[in-house]
C-alpha cells in the first residue's frame, strides 16, 4: 500500500473513531443524567430533552416543570455539560503541553499551571473581584511562563527539569493559597477548600454558553495551528529550520492553554491528571498527529470527566466526593508508570 493509501486509511479510521466517540459521549451523558438519588429512566430523559429542545424549556423558574424535568434540565443536564467542557479543556491542554514541551509527563496540574489559576481565583475571591475567570487566566499564564522559563536550558527542556520546576512552582503557590486562606473568614475558608478539591459546578445556561464558546473556540484555534504543534514536537531547532516562528507560537499556545485552564479552574477548582491520562489514550488509539489528537482528546476528555463526576456524586449518595479525588486515584498510578518509562528513556 502506498503512502497516499495509508494516509487515506488513517483518515477513514479517525473519522469512524470520532463517530464512535461521539456516540459513546452521548450514551455516557444520557447515563449520567439518569443516575442519582432520583432515578430517571433513559426513555424519560430523552423525552424531557426532546421536549426542552422543542419548547425551549432549558431556563430557570418555570413552575409547570415536573420534578424529573427539574432534575434533568436544571441540575444534572447543566452539570453534565459542564463536566464535558471541563474534560475537553483539560485533555486538550494536556495534549498541547505534551507536544509543545516534548514531555509525556506534562500536565497543567503537575506543572503548577492549574495552581497558578487557583491562586489567581482565590485572590479574586478574597478581594471581591467579579471577573473570576479573568483572574484565573492571568494566574495560569503567569505560572506557565515561570515554569517554562525555569526549565528552559540552552534552548531545550529536559523532562525531569520541567517536572521539578512544576513541583517547585506548585509548592510555592500552594503556600500562597494557604496563607490567603488563613486570613479569610471561616465561611469563606470552607468554601475555598471545598472548591480547591475539585468539584464540577452547576451553572446557568448563560454561563455555560460563555464557557462553551471559549472552550470550543480555543480548541478550534489549536486545531487550526496543529501542524505547527507537530513541528514544535520535533524540536525547536527543527521547527525553526522549517520556518516556524517558535517563540511567538509558544506564547500563542501558552495564552490559549492558560485561557482553557483558567476557565476550568475558576468554576470547578483543581482537577488533576485528566490532562495527563487522556492524551496518551488518544495517541494509543490514533497516533501522535495533533490534527487527529486534539479532537480525539477533547471527546475522550469529555467522556472521562463525565464518568468521574457521575461516580463522585453517586458512589456515596446523597453525599458526594470531590471529583478531583476520583481523577487523582485513577491518575496517580498512571503518572508513576509514565515517570518510570521516562526515567528509562533519558538514562
Per-residue pLDDT tens digits of the chain, which is 347 residues long: 555 565 677 788 888 989 999 999 999 999 999 998 888 899 999 998 888 887 764 554 445 778 888 888 888 999 999 999 999 999 999 999 888 888 787 888 878 888 899 998 888 888 777 778 888 889 888 888 888 787 776 455 565 677 778 888 888 988 988 888 888 777 777 778 878 888 888 888 888 999 999 999 999 999 998 899 988 888 778 888 888 888 888 889 888 998 899 999 988 988 888 988 899 999 988 888 899 999 999 999 999 999 999 999 998 877 888 888 888 888 777 777 766 665 544 34
Grid cell 516534548 in the structure block, residue:
102
CA distance 104 to 114: 17
- Specify burial of residue 161 (Cβ count, 10 A radius: 0-12, 13-18, 19+): middle
Of the candidates 194, 171, 218, the residue with the CA atom closest to the CA atom of residue 122? 194
Q: For position 304, what pLDDT does the model report?
A: 94
CA distance 208 to 203: 6
Q: For position 154, what pLDDT does the model report?
A: 47
Asked whether the beta carbons of 64 and 111 are under 8 A apart, the reply is no
Asked whether the beta carbons of 139 and 119 are under 8 A apart, the reply is yes
- In CATH, which superfamily holds the domain spanning 78-345? ABC transporter involved in vitamin B12 uptake, BtuC (1.10.3470.10)
Q: For position 343, what pLDDT does the model report?
A: 54
Put simply, whether the predicted model's pTM sits higher than 0.95 gets the answer: no
Peptide bond into 233 cis (omega under 30): no
Angle in degrees, CA 210, 213, 216, rounded to 5: 145
What 8-state DSSP symbol labels residue 35? -
Q: For position 83, what pLDDT does the model report?
A: 95
Write the CA distances from 98 to 95, 110, 120, 134, integer angstroms: 5, 12, 24, 25
The residue extents of the domains of the chain are 78-345
Work out whether strand 152-153 and strand 156-157 pair parallel, antiparallel, or are unpaired.
antiparallel
Amino acid at each position: 500500500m502506498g503512502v497516499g493509501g495509508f494516509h487515506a486509511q488513517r483518515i477513514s479510521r479517525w473519522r469512524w473513531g470520532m463517530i464512535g466517540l461521539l456516540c459513546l459521549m452521548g450514551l455516557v451523558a444520557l447515563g449520567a443524567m439518569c443516575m442519582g438519588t432520583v432515578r430517571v429512566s433513559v426513555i424519560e430523559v430523552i423525552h424531557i430533552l426532546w421536549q426542552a429542545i422543542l419548547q425551549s424549556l432549558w431556563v430557570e423558574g418555570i413552575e409547570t416543570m415536573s420534578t424529573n424535568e427539574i432534575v434533568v434540565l436544571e441540575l444534572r443536564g447543566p452539570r453534565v455539560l459542564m463536566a464535558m467542557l471541563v474534560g475537553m479543556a483539560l485533555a486538550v491542554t494536556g495534549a498541547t503541553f505534551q507536544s509543545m514541551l516534548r514531555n509525556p509527563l506534562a500536565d497543567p496540574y503537575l506543572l503548577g499551571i492549574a495552581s497558578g489559576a487557583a491562586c489567581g481565583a482565590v485572590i479574586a475571591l478574597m478581594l471581591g473581584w467579579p471577573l473570576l475567570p479573568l483572574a484565573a487566566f492571568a494566574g495560569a499564564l503567569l505560572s506557565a511562563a515561570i515554569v517554562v522559563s525555569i526549565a528552559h536550558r540552552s534552548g531545550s527542556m529536559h523532562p525531569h527539569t520541567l517536572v521539578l520546576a512544576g513541583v517547585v512552582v506548585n509548592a510555592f503557590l500552594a503556600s500562597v493559597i494557604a496563607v490567603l486562606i488563613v486570613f479569610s473568614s471561616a465561611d469563606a475558608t470552607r468554601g475555598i477548600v471545598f472548591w480547591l478539591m475539585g468539584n464540577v459546578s452547576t451553572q446557568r445556561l448563560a454561563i455555560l454558553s460563555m464557557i462553551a464558546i471559549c472552550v470550543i473556540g480555543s480548541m478550534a484555534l489549536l486545531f487550526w495551528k496543529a501542524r505547527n504543534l507537530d513541528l514544535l514536537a520535533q524540536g525547536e531547532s527543527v521547527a525553526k529550520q522549517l520556518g516556524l516562528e517558535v517563540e511567538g507560537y509558544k506564547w500563542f499556545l501558552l495564552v490559549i492553554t492558560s485561557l482553557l485552564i483558567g476557565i476550568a479552574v475558576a468554576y470547578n477548582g483543581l482537577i488533576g491528571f485528566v490532562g495527563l491520562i487522556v492524551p496518551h489514550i488518544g495517541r494509543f488509539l490514533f497516533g501522535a498527529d495533533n490534527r487527529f489528537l486534539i479532537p480525539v482528546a477533547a471527546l475522550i476528555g469529555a467522556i472521562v470527566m463525565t464518568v468521574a463526576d457521575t461516580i463522585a456524586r453517586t458512589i456515596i449518595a446523597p453525599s458526594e466526593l470531590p471529583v478531583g479525588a476520583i481523577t487523582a486515584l485513577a491518575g496517580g498510578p498512571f503518572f508513576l508508570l509514565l515517570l518510570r518509562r521516562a526515567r528509562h528513556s533519558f538514562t
